[in-house]
């Protein structure tokens, strides 16, 4: 049996029970599609967060022990320690808990993925913490993001502040505006990260311990490799596309612009002291 619980801020709630499909069809369906089919079969349950009442939360128990949770605007959603599927409306707060969660938000969100390999997407004006695990984050514009520990994959638009955290992370920044971008913060112990810039002028803020004197940038074609003297554990590779550029910003306030050569097909150079 599958249980469904729908609750609102007023305290009213309804519980429904539905028969599962066959074992064969359940195995073939994904968590999200199976839960969506169940929701759509119930006349008074709406899988679209924007069609839910304010602060209304609908929760379906999935076969794996996790839940499919849909919250309206201003919802406060708490997940389980299993693999949850969460859809939240604007101005909502999500604490997904442990498990490999799939979380989709809107704008003005506060999302904590918790431990596990989470998949999180938001629009704008949100705060996202991926938590421990190899997370996949899709970030719109003007968000604050912390990937947490693990090998994260982060795709972002413009105006974001991104802390990828410890692990070998992959960050892509786009937005189709060559004079705008996002800010990536990198600290000692963050590991070997890669950044791809797609028509973006972004900033890499290097934390305490990184200086212009101990930072080496090697440029070849459209790729820059950033390494640090006396530190073999940390490093960053940057791929530039469509006229992109990167500004290195150090804790002492000094900056260096990194951009592939436009005249020569290949260039190898290094920045030392400013």
Express each pLDDT in 130-169 by its tens digit: 999 999 999 999 999 999 999 999 999 999 999 999 999 9
| pLDDT for the residue 4 | 39
Helix, coil or strand: residue 66: coil
| pLDDT for the residue 2 | 35
| pLDDT for the residue 274 | 35
The helix (H) or strand (E) run that includes residue 156 is strand 153-156
pTM: 0.81
The structure tokens listed for 27 are: 């195995």
149-154 contact pairs (CB < 8 A, 24+): 150/117
Instruction: Give dist(CA 132, CA 172) in Å, integer.
Output: 20
Among 52, 55, 57, which Cα is nearest to 7's? 57
| pLDDT for the residue 20 | 36
Among 94, 12, 102, which Cα is nearest to 62's? 102
Kindly give the parts of the chain with pLDDT less than 50: 1-29, 41-44, 263-274
Which is it for strands 223-228 and 215-220: parallel, antiparallel or unpaired?
antiparallel
Among 96, 104, 193, which Cα is nearest to 151's? 193
Place of tokens 């600290």: 187
């Amino acid at each position: 049996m599958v249980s469904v619980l729908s609750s609102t801020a007023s305290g009213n709630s309804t519980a429904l029970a539905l028969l599962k499909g066959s074992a064969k069809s359940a195995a073939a369906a994904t968590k999200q599609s199976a839960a969506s089919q169940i929701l759509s079969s119930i006349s008074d349950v709406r899988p679209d967060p924007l069609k839910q009442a304010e602060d209304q939360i609908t929760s379906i128990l999935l076969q794996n022990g996790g839940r499919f949770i849909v919250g309206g605007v201003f919802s406060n959603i708490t997940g389980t320690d299993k693999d949850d599927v969460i859809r939240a409306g604007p101005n909502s707060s999500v604490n997904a808990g442990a498990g490999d969660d799939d979380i989709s938000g809107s704008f003005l969100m506060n999302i904590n993925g918790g431990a596990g390999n989470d998949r999180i997407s938001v629009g704008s004006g949100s705060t996202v913490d991926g938590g421990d695990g190899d997370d996949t984050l899709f970030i719109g514009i003007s968000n604050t993001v912390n990937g947490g520990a693990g090998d994260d994959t982060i795709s972002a638009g413009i105006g974001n502040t991104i802390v990828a955290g410890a692990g070998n992370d992959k960050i892509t920044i786009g937005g189709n505006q060559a004079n705008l971008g996002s800010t990536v913060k990198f600290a000692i112990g963050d590991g070997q990260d890669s950044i791809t810039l797609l028509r973006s002028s972004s900033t890499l803020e290097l934390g305490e311990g990184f200086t212009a004197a101990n930072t080496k940038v090697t440029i070849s074609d459209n790729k820059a490799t950033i390494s640090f003297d006396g530190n073999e554990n940390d490093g960053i590779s940057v791929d530039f596309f469509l006229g992109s550029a990167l500004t290195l910003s150090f804790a002492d306030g000094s900056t260096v612009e990194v951009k592939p050569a436009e005249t020569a097909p290949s260039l190898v150079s290094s920045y030392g002291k400013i």
